């Protein structure tokens, strides 16, 4: 493994693949190192479990009209659904379906919560999102659930200022063949012969010299530049050792941007059992059982007889800790309440995710802790480059100021880091 490179990229998720492909196209000598046995990271389309594509990780082309991966989907022939709406969707209340007036009330309560959080953040208040929610609303639990799903954390642990910085056009489009498949295809199209080494975790990074030396279980490599495109949790827990250690201000930033919990529980049935159109959406809130946490489902995605439940925040974390069977039992019990006990016999396969327990990832996506939204800017290339002597840069969704938690945000930071690395190389050469 010992060799010299212009740039080493650590991590082959959406950011690392974008950085590696861009540098390869630019003529740099680049190698991408990935700890897992596969590439893609949190962009992972599973076709083995159900015999059809379903995304265990990122699923939506968020802000589709300005999303570069949506443009790539068009160019590469990837079909996706048009943007839908969460407003007034069918909602099961534990023993009955909500009527039309209740559905609109529910949406207004959820929308009001997000609007209040954004208003606080836009006003410069960096406080917990929970402080902006109406604690008297009968729909509070469902509003909290949506914060958990969208931020991967309960609103007590989410910064209003960070949420307000997130740029969202409201156009969210699922990809039929899978978002993970699209991310892979984009990199393969841009750089089909990109040098990627999988099952190669990085143990140490020595940046004490003029370049960097990376030590792995398979040997050491040297390079003039290093792009670290790994989740914040990997660095925060010390999975990679740095010599010298990272500056305190960077350690603080990684700790301030933890990966939260956003998981999925999915079921395939031997026939269509719901009586709903393809790619329908259902919310649930058991009014009779306050201890039961809400969950929302995608029903019959792309016409397949399936249900995919979305879990977030502490509910997702608790179910990961309880194990796959507990998560599957939770999801199926809610579906049975809504659609009848007969559907139990129609289940052919169940699957659950556990991103939070994955030692190579450690969660879903980042959201700044209350009071610490300003920490995200510390990971930007323009700050990190000079701080680390032009030898290391960071990429990944957590680095994105306005599209964090998304695959396209990660993709764009990979491109930005690659461009900054190449500019530094050219400056050294000159």
Q: Which domains does the chain have, with CATH numbers?
A: 4-47+177-258+368-429 (3.50.50.60), 84-169+260-357 (3.90.660.10)
Put simply, whether the predicted model's pTM sits higher than 0.85 gets the answer yes
Q: Indicate the helix (H) or strand (E) that contains 172.
A: none
CA 412/CA 417 separation, integer angstroms:
9
Q: Kindly report the number of other CB atoms within 10 A of residue 104's CB atom.
A: 13
* Angle between helix 68-76 and helix 179-190 axes, rounded to 10 deg: 80
What does residue 258 show for φ and ψ, rounded to 5 degrees? -70, 155
Please classify residue 2 by burial: count the beta carbons closer than 10 Å to its beta carbon, then call 0-12 exposed, 13-18 middle and 19+ buried: exposed
Q: Is the peptide bond before 244 cis (omega within 30 degrees of 0)?
A: yes
pLDDT tens sequence across 135-153: 999 999 999 999 999 999 9
CB 38 within 8 A of CB 13: no
**Strand locations in 138-216 (E):** 173-174, 196-197, 202-206, 212-216
For the chain, what is the mean pLDDT? 96
CA nearest 420: which of 381, 387, 376, 379?
381
Average of pLDDT values for 254-278? 97
pLDDT tens sequence across 319-360: 999 999 999 999 999 999 999 999 999 999 999 999 999 999
Provide the phi-psi class of 313: left if phi over 0, else alpha when psi is between -120 and 50, else beta.
left
Helix, strand, or coil (residue 204): strand
Query: How confident is residue 237, by pLDDT bands cut at 50, 70 and 90?
Result: very high
- Would the pLDDT of 124 be above 60? yes
């Amino acid at each position: 493994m010992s060799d010299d490179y212009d740039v080493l990229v650590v991590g082959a998720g959406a950011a690392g693949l974008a950085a590696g492909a861009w540098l390869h196209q630019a003529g740099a000598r680049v190698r991408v190192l990935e700890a897992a046995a596969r590439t893609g990271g949190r962009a992972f389309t599973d076709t083995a479990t159900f015999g059809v594509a379903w995304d265990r990780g990122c699923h939506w082309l968020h802000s589709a009209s300005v999303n570069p991966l949506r443009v790539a989907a068009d160019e590469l022939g990837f079909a996706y659904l048009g943007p839908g709406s969460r407003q007034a969707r069918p909602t099961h209340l534990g023993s009955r379906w909500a009527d039309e007036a209740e559905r609109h009330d529910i949406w207004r309560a959820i929308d009001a919560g997000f609007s209040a959080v954004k208003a606080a953040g836009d006003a410069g208040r960096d406080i917990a999102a929970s402080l902006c929610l109406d604690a008297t609303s009968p729909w509070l639990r469902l509003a909290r659930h949506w914060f958990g799903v969208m931020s991967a954390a309960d609103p007590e642990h989410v910064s209003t200022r960070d949420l307000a910085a997130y740029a969202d056009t409201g156009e969210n489009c699922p990809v039929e063949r899978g978002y993970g498949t699209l991310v892979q295809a984009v990199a393969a199209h841009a750089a089909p012969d990109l040098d990627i080494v999988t099952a190669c975790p990085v143990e140490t990074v020595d940046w004490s010299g003029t370049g960097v030396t990376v030590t792995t279980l398979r040997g050491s490599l040297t390079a003039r530049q290093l792009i670290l495109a790994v989740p914040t949790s990997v660095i925060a827990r010390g999975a990679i050792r740095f010599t010298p250690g990272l500056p305190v201000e960077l350690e603080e930033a990684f700790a301030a941007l933890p990966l939260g919990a956003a998981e999925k529980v999915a079921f395939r049935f031997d026939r269509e059992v719901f009586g709903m159109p393809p790619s329908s959406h259902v919310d649930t809130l058991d009014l009779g059982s306050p201890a039961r946490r809400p969950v929302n489902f995608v029903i019959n995605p792309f016409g397949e007889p399936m249900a995919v439940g979305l879990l977030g925040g502490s509910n997702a974390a608790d179910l990961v800790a309880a194990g796959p069977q507990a998560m599957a039992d939770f999801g199926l019990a809610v579906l049975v309440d809504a659609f009848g006990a007969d559907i139990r016999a129609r289940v052919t396969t169940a699957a659950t995710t556990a991103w939070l327990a994955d030692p190579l990832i450690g969660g879903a996506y980042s959201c700044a802790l209350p009071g610490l939204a300003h920490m995200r800017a510390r990971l930007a290339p323009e700050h990190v480059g000079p701080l680390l002597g032009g030898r290391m840069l960071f990429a990944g969704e957590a680095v994105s100021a306005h599209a964090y938690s998304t695959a396209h945000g990660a993709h764009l930071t990979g491109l930005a880091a690659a461009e900054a690395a190449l500019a530094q190389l050219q400056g050294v050469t000159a």
